[in-house]
Structure 1
Amino acid sequence: MAEDMLGIRAPANLPSLVKAAFEKARAAGDLTCYPTQVAVLKPGRSGIAFQLRFSPALASKPKPNPPPPGAEKKKPFNPFENPLPSMTVAQLPPNHVLVLNKFAIVPEHFILATRAVKPQTHVLEADDIAAAYACIRAYHDDGKDRSQELFAFFNSGPHSGASQPHRHIQLLPVAQMRAGLDTADHGADWSVVADVMGSSSNEKDAVVDMPFAVLTDRITAGAPAKQLHAAYVHLYKDAVRLLHPEEINEEAVAGAGEARISYNLAMTRTTMALCPRVAEGATIRSKSGEEEVGPVALNGTVLAGTALVKNEAEWDALREDPDKLLGVFEQNRRGFFY
């Protein structure tokens, strides 16, 4: 078991548990894994490689029907409350459960959710960070393949790409994120951007030279859970002050309760990165600039260096002019975009 100082343990065979559960649930029709095409773009002068994935089938993803006029308002469906046994990977006592993502773009995408219903918009607690990092360690430490790594991300707030109000952290096997890259131009250049940013930053909490504002901290091997949580809270408070410079005192920004801003958090085995958000994305135009071809929305996977589009016009426009992706980043010059 991969264990942290709070006693939270992830199964040592977590990669094989996730793989087996994913394949069984997909065969039973309990989840959908959408096929994608992939291109690797190098927008602007940063030299950073970004994955662009295109999934036309995702545009037809089922949506809940609106209630008829006058009908009693029903409680929204919560996929993390009492999940189907086929969608459950493992329990992480005392407070978390691992479940599969019902609508996956990356195979074996799974989710760390709180057992009790807690708000996605609140600052994460120490056990949330500890449970996520225990999963990351379990992937790296798995005896069958020492090269396995896990990318964890958290979307919080209306501008972050968050879609479920029940607190959850999403987990993506990096090996699965590489699918299709062997045939893509610049595919060999792609790696998880959070790790690139972390390794290029010599100073704690540095704003790395990227087309969007990101605060990073290196994770020391064997760091206790409380230290990891303190690092996260520090990054969060600095991000609040980045958007609200009037809040300059440490005590002026609460490290618990309702979050003051929208943001994305990413964690890998070696890096923690936090990206303040003031917009979910932007509308892009055709190569001629005469036609709007669709909105591009970004969530925490941007800290892995990935973006997703659902229609062919967006796919073509971004591949023809990768700098349009910078236009999405630069839609607003405050906070997330600068």
Structure 2
Amino acid sequence: MEESVTNPTETALLQPGTLWAKTTQQTQYARECGALKSIETEYQLIQQNDISFVVRSLSSLARKEQARKKQTETEHKIGKEIDPFLPYEPELFVGDISPSHICLLNKFNVVDNHLLIVTRDFEEQTDLLNLEDFAALWCCLQEIDGLAFYNGGKTAGASQRHKHLQLIPLPFLPNVVHLPINNAIANVNFENVFGRIASFPFCHAIASLALSSSRSPKAAAKILLQHYHALLNLVGFKIDSTTVNQRQPGAYNCLITRNWMLIVPRSQESFQHIPINSLGFAGSLFVRDRTSLKLLKDLTPIRLLQNVAISDEDFAARENSNQID
């Protein structure tokens, strides 16, 4: 007798209306027991074009760097990589989302209630997102109005190999900035759902999402996956939507809210020792010290992003090469 298989997109384990309460309660507990290692920051705003960039100075970044160094040393001793999600720290566990995903707190959080949406079984962070990933994400976005993002590989800012999306509740800064990139997106001329951000002088593509919060995870996941594949193709990554469990053809950042999805291909992880992940393209940047802050101001935030993205000229050259091939 064959064992019955449940479609993960049809079964949500998260009880509706409970995620926010679970998140805040677990955050308080994890902080009290010492499992949560929040990184203290100071911030200032840098206005460029229609984006009010939030630039945070990480005054206690050494804590995260020490933990990463210790992990690397341990990996060398035991001769294999350590997966912080297998097993995960029980103190960071928020809840089950679906048969394929769980929800954890980000151990080294800069923003309160920063969530990780993690696959139960190991999958590579360089695997493309799939239907189950988007179903789990929508379960969380239904509960929490936030910015979700995916760092596709080390070059895009991923620090762990185990596949995980991230979700930061909005607003970014209460009573100051809701989401830095909001005004820039409000000015996008969406043609047939897709468009470009005028302030971004590099390869990218954005899609408008017409998803109501009442849409089921299964239905929403199908729409999100279709837009995701379309955006990847628009930025030059040729994706076969019929193939399951594909590896990504190149590094990229993916940002998602209830209203839009943005894809930015990446060329390098950092510039002038300033690391960039998906949050940089949402208008949130991080520097280690005053020297890096001055460098960022002299360089300007958009030029910094331009240096870690892929130029439109390189994209056009790649497209021409593909056509010749």
User: After TM superposition, is the score higher than 0.5?
Assistant: yes
Instruction: Give 3-state SS (helix, strand or coil) of 2:304's partner.
Output: helix
- Matched residue, 1:118: 123
Label 1:215 to 1:194 Cα distance change in 2 as closer, same or farther (>3 A).
farther
| Partner Cα separation in structure 2 for residue 255 and residue 278 of structure 1 | 26
The answer to whether the 8 A contact 1:264-1:276 is kept is yes
Label 1:192 to 1:327 Cα distance change in 2 as closer, same or farther (>3 A).
closer
What stretches of structure 1 of length at least 5 have no aligned partner? 140-148, 242-246, 284-294
Q: 1:80 is matched with which residue: 79, 82, 85?
A: 85
Return the letter of the residue paired with 1:303: F
Q: 1:334 is matched with which residue: 307, 310, 313?
A: 310
Label 1:252 to 1:34 Cα distance change in 2 as closer, same or farther (>3 A).
closer
- Matched residue, 1:216: 206
| Partner Cα separation in structure 1 for residue 291 and residue 84 of structure 2 | 32
TM-score, reference length from structure 2:
0.81
- Matched residue, 1:38: 43
- Matched residue, 2:318: none
| Partner Cα separation in structure 2 for residue 324 and residue 232 of structure 1 | 29
| Partner Cα separation in structure 2 for residue 9 and residue 50 of structure 1 | 37
Deviation at 1:194, TM superposition (A): 6.2
| Partner Cα separation in structure 2 for residue 80 and residue 337 of structure 1 | 39
Label 1:64 to 1:5 Cα distance change in 2 as closer, same or farther (>3 A).
closer
| Partner Cα separation in structure 2 for residue 13 and residue 281 of structure 1 | 37
Label 1:335 to 1:167 Cα distance change in 2 as closer, same or farther (>3 A).
farther
- Matched residue, 2:252: 263
Deviation at 1:166, TM superposition (A): 0.3
Paired positions, count: 295
Moved over 6 A (4+): 252-255
- Matched residue, 2:188: 200
Matched, 1:171 2:167: yes
Matched, 1:52 2:40: no
Structure number with higher helix proportion: 2
| Partner Cα separation in structure 2 for residue 326 and residue 301 of structure 1 | 13
Instruction: Give 3-state SS (helix, strand or coil) of 2:185's partner.
Output: helix
- Matched residue, 2:29: 24
Report the aligned-residue RMSD: 2.8
Q: 1:92 is matched with which residue: 93, 97, 107?
A: 97
TM-score, reference length from structure 1:
0.78
| Partner Cα separation in structure 1 for residue 33 and residue 281 of structure 2 | 32
Deviation at 1:191, TM superposition (A): 2.4
Deviations 1:27-67 (A, max 9, x none): 10011111111111113xx3211110111210342233454
Deviations 1:171-212 (A, max 9, x none): 11113x215xx5xxxx45x62426842662322222221234
Q: 1:191 is matched with which residue: 179, 183, 189?
A: 179
| Partner Cα separation in structure 2 for residue 67 and residue 279 of structure 1 | 25
Instruction: Give 3-state SS (helix, strand or coil) of 1:121's partner.
Output: coil
Deviation at 1:328, TM superposition (A): 1.2
Identify the range of structure 1 (98-107 vs 253-262) with the bigger mean alpha-carbon deviation: 253-262
| Partner Cα separation in structure 1 for residue 288 and residue 96 of structure 2 | 34
Deviations 1:290-321 (A, max 9, x none): xxxxx1111011232101111121124435x4
Label 1:67 to 1:95 Cα distance change in 2 as closer, same or farther (>3 A).
same
- Matched residue, 2:319: none
What stretches of structure 2 of length at least 5 have no aligned partner? 1-7, 315-325
- Matched residue, 1:324: 300
| Partner Cα separation in structure 1 for residue 306 and residue 112 of structure 2 | 30
Instruction: Give 3-state SS (helix, strand or coil) of 1:153's partner.
Output: strand
Return the letter of the residue paired with 1:32: K
Instruction: Give 3-state SS (helix, strand or coil) of 1:83's partner.
Output: coil
| Partner Cα separation in structure 2 for residue 305 and residue 333 of structure 1 | 14
State the identity %.
23
The answer to whether the 8 A contact 2:188-2:196 is kept is no
Deviations 1:242-293 (A, max 9, x none): xxxxx6xx7599674110010011111111111111122311xxxxxxxxxx
The answer to whether the 8 A contact 1:213-1:275 is kept is yes
Return the letter of the residue paired with 1:229: L
Matched, 1:233 2:229: yes
